[in-house]
Chain A
Amino acid sequence: MIKTTNLTKIYQTDEVETTALNEVNIEIKEGEFVSVMGPSGCGKSTLLNVLGMIDNPTSGEYYFNGEEVGHLPERKRSNVRKHNLGFVFQSFNLIDELTVFENVELPMLYTKVPSAERKTRVEELLEGMNIMHRRNHFPQQLSGGQQQRVAVARAIVNRPKLILADEPTGNLDSANGDEVMKILSELNASGTTILMVTHSQYCAEFGNLIIRMLDGQVVTENVVKQYL
């Protein structure tokens, strides 16, 4: 599903040049659950952003489903993004002015899902996440765990092929963190590919492959469990 060749990202600020990704070559197959680990500043998030198509690589190629997407213009990228990808962030990133229901519904507005179907899908998901009773609340009225569940619901509502999660448990206590990991595992079990950046070994082991990074390069790839 994902293949990169010599993927490089260099940040240029005035006089300082920072290499965030240095010729990264990875491959992720459909249905995998990949965890990315490494110390702060090693390039995990940059990798996630580039693979999530919200950032362009400086050089190298990025193939998504066989198509080179690393150098597409923003218009085309946003089109690929909205139909194929779902994002979960450490800080949830819900829109404060929208209710729980509206936040989850939002991606479907961009993919032009008919109104009746939007309603069904949102309600199904909220039911499944056990936050249906909070559907008319605003994000700031929810606990962290609830917010992240809304964010996960929003990420999967368009049934993306790939979910990109940037430290999804980073702002949560262990119980809520477990809850979110459980949901991600279930999604993976039902066929969704997941790429997750995390600091936690415990969380990383929910995946079947752990990529470790240092200074913008992939150091090791450990297979945790093999799918049969």
Chain B
Amino acid sequence: MVGNYFKVTVRNLLKNKLFSITNIAGLGIGIACCLLILLFVNYEMSYEKWNPYADRIYRPHMDINFGGSVMTAAVAGAPIAPDAAAELPEIENWCRFRDYGSYLVRVEGTGISNFSEDAILTVDSTFFDLFPVKLLAGDKRTALTLPNTLVMSKSQALKYFGTVDQAMGKVLILENEEPWEVKGVYENIPPSTHFKADFLLSMNGNEEVANAPPLWAANNNFHTYLLLKEGTDGKIFEEKFDALSKQKMEETSSQLLGMTLAEFEATGQYARYGVQKMKDIHLHSDLQVELEPNGSFKYVLIFSAIALFVLLIACINFMNLTTAKSTQRSKEIGIRKVLGSNRQKLISQFFSETFIMTFLSVLLALSLAAIAMPWFNELTTRDISIPWTNASFWLVLIGGMIVVSLVAGSYPAIFLSSFDPIQSLQPARSKQGKHGRLRSSLVVFQFAIAITLIIGTMLIYNQLQFIQSKKLGFNKEQVIVIDDAYALEGNLNAFKQKILQEPTVSSATISSYLPIPSSRSNTTYSQSREFRQDHALNMQRWLVDHDYLNTIGMTIKEGRYFDRAFPTDSQAVILNEAAIKILGYTNPVGKKIYGLTGNLQGPPAPDDFIEYHIVGIVEDFHFESLRETIGPLGMFLGRSAGRLAIRYQAADSKNLLKTIEDSWNGMAPDQPFSYQFMDESFGRMYLAERRIGSIAMIFSILAIFVSCLGLFGLASFITEQRTKEIGIRKVLGASISGVVALLSKDFLKLVLISMVIAIPFAWWAMNNWLQDFAYRTNFKWQIFVLAGILALAIAFLTISFQSIKAALINPVDSIKSE
């Protein structure tokens, strides 16, 4: 019997090629989307799974609102780990990471140039106890115990030394001066880890740790990991840690501010530390100062929903096409029933048909997914592959195939098997009726999803456009940023002067602090020479030179910018409007603020403060992503040689770049030259949004495409059913356009209904998404209209092919069709 079903299915597929292709292609695309997204979701969920201790590792994080700044960051002070381990017996071991950003690295004693490496972490010697990566050479117990020793990943060992063994005992020169001996080589850390580390430097000898103040709420620079003893209840540990944090904050508050924690918190400010599970970091942690950009559980959900929708659209296509074609199958169904087949048998026949189609679709989907994978990886910035040899992958795939067959096949099977044998044996009768209505609702559902996706895509792009064109308070266009400028060492100023001689260069500034992803540090200032919570201003401290304002293009609102004519400017500060607001100064220019010197070891004395006079107010500018509101910021004259920003006036930057690179190579021949355009780096802050935009766009195109496949198939069958009617109408004088309108009208009505459903839903969903942005675009009604027109136009084009064809048939032929 199964053989008979199979034969009929295959012959039916071959007989109705258009139907088969639309059905299989639609379902194939739907399954391919789902497959890609599920692999992505699986990858996102697999973070830290390689680490057998992952469940037992917790990371302390800070949550401080003080002096006008809110910091919720993945870092903590250096003493937190040893303190907590001493107080809480649950802690078995701990390890701290200090991320100092990128380093220039070269091998000692060779003429090979520096590489700029950014996956470098300074870690405690316990690293391998918490992160058991296999050591290919060296001893994990001693590899990181001595000062100025490091271990490196296999890939880096191969890059610098050719083999793992060659690397052992060699010396790398960091930042052109510090020698670090290679004491071990480890297997590359799996990419599904929330940090990247190609080099691990020994924490032993680290001055920051050695000089760290004993107070918790200072020097929050360390990513800290606590390994709990086996069997520890995480909830209880979290509570105990919170209690400890409270006790420590109490000490800090009384020592630094001279008040109790309750008094401090009564001002609306707070300072606390908590712990989070390491396994939650990748998808559930959205803190400042993460080691790597994390994933987002929300986006995992959104992507899954979109994939499910595309699959659902494809399943609906399948139902619609199969039931629409029922007139062609009804005779067979009738005969089978007359010959003794019962309904169950017919249902199982149609399910087996669906299963065969699904199987073919899955084959297609696998090929599509394999082809799209490199591109998909680029889009998601992940390293995902189809696990061809993984048994559970195939089990899930087969399971999925059965589920899809059941979803897509149930309605057709129940519908087709319900045919009355007598009716089905009568010549071609239209079996529209209530099933026609159900089909229409399914089309409405499909298009509602597709239109929602179109609106979503448009709004995402609209928001990105808004960000790009928003008045930022500075000029991001036509600025080249040279990275790692400190590599020029003593030549940096000479280099700057040389570049300034270029006719197209108008100004240049040396600073590590730029309104693009770059160095950030918060420092607390006071309105007086005492440390009081109500006098505090916790703001970003940017070290800049005299040319900064000209080059980056901010506006001075009051007072002036730093000027070489004023030697006292070394003790001057320029604040932004947000900082002034926190200080509450009415005529700020000429007023003073006070900063602390050195590290806090206890309550500061008046002499511990340095006085700065305010010389100017800079208009608020967006130095962080537009997701954040503008925080307080102070600019100080000082040297921070991280980057050189160059403003130029030329349509073509190619020649200028060539000149800059030549000058660089002349002055620092062994140092890597790298640059970025400020507007591009600015755009990179919205990478996640761009990615969402691209994914939403691609999936909406696919959703529309698959919906149109269904519509196309449906239109061709409906047109076929109405062939006789069309003939009669034409005989009676209907024009071609009249016939096209007649056939299109019903479908376009459905698309209109879809719009009515989709618009409020899209509005709600996108409104939610926009809440992530502190600065957001308004909903424009034009977007909804445009999305609607687009959907209508696409639907009309799809249908018109069939309806024009039908309208052009010679009426005699159409009348004969029955």
Residues of A within 8 A of B (CB): 49, 52, 54-55, 74-75, 78-79, 81-83, 87, 89, 91, 93-98, 102, 106-107, 109-111, 154
Contact = CB atoms under 8 A, between A and B. Distances in A.
Contacts of A87: 338-339
B15 interface: yes
Interface of B: 1, 4, 7-8, 11-12, 15, 331-332, 334-345, 421-422, 425, 427
16 contacts: A49-B422, A75-B344, A78-B342, A81-B340, A87-B338, A87-B339, A89-B425, A91-B425, A93-B331, A95-B8, A95-B331, A97-B15, A97-B332, A98-B8, A110-B336, A154-B339
Most A-side CB within 10 Å, residue of B12, B344, B425: B425
A91 B427 contact: yes
B470 to A, nearest CB: 63
A179 B409 CA distance: 44
Contacts of A52: 338
Contact of A95 (B335, B342, B422): B335
A106 B12 CA distance: 17
A109 B4 contact: yes
B710 to A, nearest CB: 24
Contacts of A110: 336, 339-341, 345
A41 B49 CA distance: 76
A89 B425 CA distance: 9
Contacts of B338: 52, 54, 81, 87, 93
B11 to A, nearest CB: 4
A75 B4 contact: no
B433 to A, nearest CB: 12
Nearest to B14: A97
B1 A93 contact: no
**B7, B12, B336, B342 interface centre (most CB from chain A within 10 Å):** B342
A46 B63 CA distance: 83
Nearest to B9: A97
A81 B341 CA distance: 9
B342 A75 contact: yes
B342 A106 contact: no
Nearest to A75: B342
The 10 A-B residue pairs whose C-beta atoms are closest, nearest first, are A82-B340, A110-B340, A97-B11, A78-B342, A54-B421, A107-B339, A95-B332, A97-B8, A109-B1, A93-B335
B342 A55 contact: no
Contacts, number: 71
B771 to A, nearest CB: 54
Contacts of A82: 339-341
A106 B336 CA distance: 8
A98 B336 CA distance: 12
B342 A54 contact: no
Contact of A78 (B15, B332, B335, B341): B341
A168 to B, nearest CB: 14
A74 B420 CA distance: 11
Given A82-B340, A87-B338, A111-B340, A55 B425 contact: no
Given A54-B422, A89-B425, A98 B339 contact: no
Contacts of A102: 4, 7
Contacts of A93: 331, 334-335, 338, 425
B453 to A, nearest CB: 38
Given A49-B422, A79-B340, A97-B11, A106 B427 contact: no
Given A54-B422, A102-B7, A109-B4, A97 B12 contact: yes
A98 B5 CA distance: 10
A75 B337 CA distance: 10
A74 B335 contact: no
Nearest to A45: B422
Contacts of B337: 54, 78
Contacts of B343: 74-75
B193 to A, nearest CB: 56
Contacts of A74: 342-343
Contacts of B344: 75
Contacts of B427: 91
A111 B4 CA distance: 14
Residue among A49, A95, A96, A107 having the largest count of chain B Cβ atoms under 10 Å: A95
B319 to A, nearest CB: 21
B258 to A, nearest CB: 89
A78 B340 contact: yes
Nearest to B345: A110
B320 to A, nearest CB: 22
Contacts of A54: 337-338, 421-422
A79 B342 contact: yes
Contacts of A98: 4, 7-8, 11
Residue from B12, B340, B343 with most neighbouring chain A CB atoms (10 Å): B340
A191 B337 CA distance: 26
Contacts of B4: 98, 102, 106, 109
Nearest to B335: A93
Contacts of A111: 340
Contacts of A106: 4, 335-336, 339
A149 to B, nearest CB: 16
Contacts of B12: 97
Contacts of B7: 97-98, 102
B416 to A, nearest CB: 14
Given A79-B342, A93-B334, A98-B7, 20 more contacts: A54-B421, A54-B422, A78-B337, A78-B342, A81-B338, A81-B339, A81-B340, A83-B340, A91-B425, A93-B338, A95-B331, A96-B15, A97-B11, A97-B12, A98-B8, A98-B11, A102-B7, A106-B4, A106-B336, A110-B336
Contacts of A81: 338-340
Nearest to B341: A110
Contacts of B422: 49, 54-55
Nearest to A97: B11
Contacts of B339: 81-82, 87, 106-107, 110, 154
A106 B334 CA distance: 13
A5 to B, nearest CB: 23
Contacts of A97: 7-8, 11-12, 15, 332
A82 B1 CA distance: 15
Nearest to B328: A96
B554 to A, nearest CB: 76
Contacts of A79: 340, 342
B1, B11, B335, B338 — most chain A CB neighbours (10 Å):
B338
B347 to A, nearest CB: 12
Contacts of A89: 425
Contacts of B425: 89, 91, 93
Contacts of A75: 342-344
A94 B1 CA distance: 18
A82 to B, nearest CB: 2
Nearest to A166: B425
Contacts of B15: 96-97
A164 to B, nearest CB: 9
A75 B340 CA distance: 9
Nearest to A93: B335
A91 B424 CA distance: 13
A102 B7 CA distance: 10
A83 B342 CA distance: 13
Among B15, B344, B422, chain A packs the most CB atoms within 10 A around the CB of B422
Nearest to A87: B338
A137 to B, nearest CB: 13
A79 B345 CA distance: 12
A87 B421 CA distance: 12
B327 to A, nearest CB: 13
A85 to B, nearest CB: 8
A95 to B, nearest CB: 5
A2 B341 CA distance: 23
A82 B342 CA distance: 10
A52 B8 CA distance: 26
Contacts of A94: 335
A87 to B, nearest CB: 5
Contacts of B340: 78-79, 81-83, 107, 110-111
